[in-house]
Structure 1
Amino acid sequence: MSPALPAGDPVPEDGSLPATAAEGAADRALAMYLHVPFCRVRCGYCDFTTYTAEELGGAGSGSSRAGYAAVAAREVEMSGRVLADAGLPARPVSTVFVGGGTPTLLPSGDLVGLLGAVDRVHGLAPDAEVTTEANPDSVTPASLAELAAGGFTRVSFGMQSSVPHVLATLDRTHDPARVPDVVRWAREAGLQVSLDLIYGAPGESRADWRASLEAALACAPDHVSAYALVVEPGTRMAGQVRRGELALPEQDDLAAKYEDADALLTAAGMSWYEVSNWAARPDARCRHNVSYWRGDDWWGVGPGAHSHVGGVRWWNVKHPGAYSARLVSGRSPAHAREVLDDEARLVERVLLGVRLAEGLPVDELPPAGRALLPGTVADGLVREPAEVPGTDGAARVVLTDRGRLLADGVVRRLLGW
């Protein structure tokens, strides 16, 4: 099971926000994240808020798949009231991301209905990006066509690997031979396609990883995400590692696999725009994730979902039954929240902004970080600050290739830690 929720300050039962949340809102985009907490099988490495049918019990618990979309739509309605009551200006939603879990375990009509609720409450921007995650074994040509007809523009398939023994270690159940088919079906429906990959699974060789990259590229995706496996405490895989049943790779192996990913994806014409993400074209970047990295506002709907509006961050109760009960009784499903102070907001701005290919304006670094900048340049971790085409004209800090491998350490240095 996923870990306990963090502690925080109490949230009013109506979910109301402090007046400070409205400050500067006109300059921030509004995004929506819709969480679908259902999976057929729990992967051993996963610590997300997800549940199998066996874990949830009967439909009478208020947590059934059949009734989930209607319950989640109540939170969408609540988001409209809360933002308006806090004095935030009406803003159309620029991006919607449906994640999980496996969102496409719900009927496509339910997902389209949830998107309709977002449009009814907030409105969708004319060029809104609307993405759903999907497992390759959870879609059909008909379901993808229904999503596209209902307003979805993009699908992100959890490919993870093309190598059967790696998929087995990760507890992934799909047949890797199905990936080219689902990509083709999505394209025929008019959807952009992203493929999500994971490297560093126990027992994965560099040849295995390169085979997965080549298989992904053979599908000509619009976008690829490649993340190093992180084994979180409390997961089944963490127990296997602790007992010596699985051995995790060395850091040098992970670095080599990242370099393999960047080399192969770049050679195929894709460009990195965030440390773990590559796009075939600028318009294929995941605008929803960019919204997170730039510090925009987003409302997370669903059990365990996190939200951030104007420096206020909150997170929902995790169990679908408790989530449903709160909304049905007219209460906010939020478990707790925190109001970020200036220091915390600065840390997040540097942490997230430095990971982008566009970098971070030098004048947004704290004084201690600016003082350490020449040495960071000399160590080959960031480029000499300069203007980045397409940005605001300010001199920016941009990671070098070596700096991307050591991004967390670079961030600590730029914060003066």
Structure 2
Amino acid sequence: MPSVLPEGEPVPADGGLPPSASDGAEDRPLGFYLHVPYCATRCGYCDFNTYTASELRGSGGVLASRDTYADVLAEEVRLARKVLGDDPRQVSTVFVGGGTPTLLPAADLGRMLAAVGAEFGLAPDAEVTTEANPESVDPAYLAELRAAGFNRVSFGMQSARRHVLEVLDRTHTPGRPEACVAEARAAGFGHVNLDLIYGTPGESDEDWHASLDAAIGAGPDHVSAYALIVEEGTRLARDIRRGEVPPTDDDVHADRYLIAEERLSAAGYGWYEVSNWATGPAARCRHNELYWTGADWWGAGPGAHSHVGGVRWWNAKHPGAYAQALAEGRSPGVGRELLTGEDRRVERVLLELRLADGCPLEILAEQGAKAAAQAVRDGLLEPGPYAEGRAVLTLRGRLLADAVVRDLVD
């Protein structure tokens, strides 16, 4: 979760939502995001809401403890049940992210999942994912996760080259993520993802080819590949500003993306979102699709964001403040916004345009529709889908996705 929270109106102490939030709920999937804010070390590029043991020492006391975290988070799940009242929907996706969720015992992650199941019920085909650091799991841990009900795991690989991992302050050993894929398969996980980052200072084309080859060779059914974004306030940003590390390069990012598309497509992975490839529809991350299509999700944990029926809210960032609110019977939410119809239309364009299915032209405003027609002429949108009423990015359009989106939301 991002480390900087937006401003917004106060969240009611009981976390209550306006009646309009339940309108049409039966037609929307419901998911849960469970945030685990702990990391063994802080990666130099990361600005997520995470904390190492030294950062928490003396700050929040027992309330911020990893030992009690699963029980604290379960309290928010019970709060969600009270807020959503008699909403009959079962949960279709659960995603445990961080931080490093697998720093907690597998039994704790299982208890968090069990709390969701006890309060809401899990759909029979529910997708249940956890992120994992390759060095924080072993075959026994993965088997315990699978027994607890997890059926998808996402490993942070980032790169196959040690010198690239060192720039990112990643501590795992090259080769370990690939071994984790085999261990997850042996434990019974049907779906496995590897996360990659491209464009790290000092990474060569050869390095990127090696990372893609290693990821593909491991045999996951899903690969995510993200351009490195240097966030202000991170150690990497400071190193670049001091000239100790070269800056990132947009042209390099574009070249690396084209390499990823070529290699992944040749290996049988199809893109379904600008930064995500899967071996088929069943291998797509349904939880992320829930975000991208404007469904409902409850984000539990420090700094987590939620969205239900056009209401978005976010929790206190610090684990101690988060736990204190729940201990006092209050919502940990510290701000929220009620999205207007126009807000939701714009978000649909922003998110759905990044998908392989694109967004319907009918949701574009007049200027956006004109921009879409021009984008087809410029080779940024596919002409076939456009003729059928959808805006779908071409490969060149994917390279310029942010600019295309800006034009179409007008």
C-alpha contact 1:3 1:234 (8 A) present in aligned 2:
no
- Aligned equivalents of 2:251, 2:169: Cα separation in 1: 25
Displacement of 1:9 in angstroms is: 0.5
* Deviation (angstroms), 1:246: 1.2
1:113–1:3 CA distance, 2 compared to 1 (3 A):
closer
The letter for the 2-side match of 1:284 is A
1:235 aligns with 2:234: yes
1:116 alignment partner, one of 91, 114, 117: 114
More displaced stretch, 4-13 vs 67-76: 4-13
Contact 2:70–2:108 (8 Å) recurs in 1: yes
Name the residue aligned to 1:251: 250
* Conserved 8 A contact 2:41-2:52: yes
Report the more deviating stretch, 73-82 or 360-369. 360-369
Q: Is the 1:2–1:46 Cα contact (8 Å) retained in structure 2?
A: no
- Structure-2 separation of matches of 1:10 and 1:60: 26
Q: What stretches of structure 2 of length at least 5 have no aligned partner? A: none
Query: In structure 2, what is the equivalent of residue 65 of structure 1?
Result: 66
C-alpha distance in structure 1 between counterparts of 2:305 and 2:3, whole Å: 14
Distance in structure 2 (CA, Å) of the matches to 1:3 and 1:48: 5
Deviations 1:7-31 (A, max 9, x none): 1101111110111111111111000
Distance in 2, matches of 1:237 and 1:280, equals 33
| Separation of aligned partners in 2, 1:114 and 1:195 | 23
Structure 1 gap segments, 5+ residues each: 389-393
Match of residue 201 from structure 1: 200
Structure 2 letter corresponding to 1:324: A
Give the corresponding residue for 2:285: 286
Mapped to 2, the partners of 1:296 and 1:329 lie a distance apart of 30
Shift of 1:5: 2.1
1:248 is displaced (CA, Å) by: 1.9
Q: Which amino acid aligns with 1:414?
A: L
Asked whether the equivalents of residues 65 and 106 of structure 1 are also in contact (C-alpha less than 8 Å), the reply is: yes
Partner of 1:402: 396
Give the structure-2-normalised TM-score.
0.97
Q: Residues 253-308 of structure 1: CA distance to partner in whole angstroms, max 9, x if unpaired?
A: 11000000000000000000000000012100000000000000000000000000
Whether 1:99 aligns to 2:93 is: no
Q: Please state how far the C-alpha of 1:362 moved relative to its aligned partner.
A: 1.2
Match of 1:262 in 2: 261
Aligned to 2:141: 143
Q: CA deviation at 1:89?
A: 2.8
Q: Give the deviation of 1:385 after TM superposition.
A: 5.0
CA RMSD of aligned residues (A): 1.5
TM-score of the pair, normalised by structure 1: 0.95
SS at match of 2:175: helix
Q: Is the 8 A contact 2:133 2:156 kept in 1?
A: yes
Report the alpha carbon displacement of residue 6 of structure 1 after superposing the two structures with TM: 1.6
| C-alpha separation in 2, matches of 1:8 and 1:387 | 37
Other structure's SS at 1:386 match: helix
When the two structures are aligned, how many residues end up with a matched partner?
408
CA distance in 2, matches of 1:211, 1:293: 30
Which runs of structure 1 show a deviation greater than 6 angstroms over 4 or more consecutive aligned residues? none
CA contact (8 A) 1:316 1:333 kept: yes
Local SS of the residue matching 2:143: helix
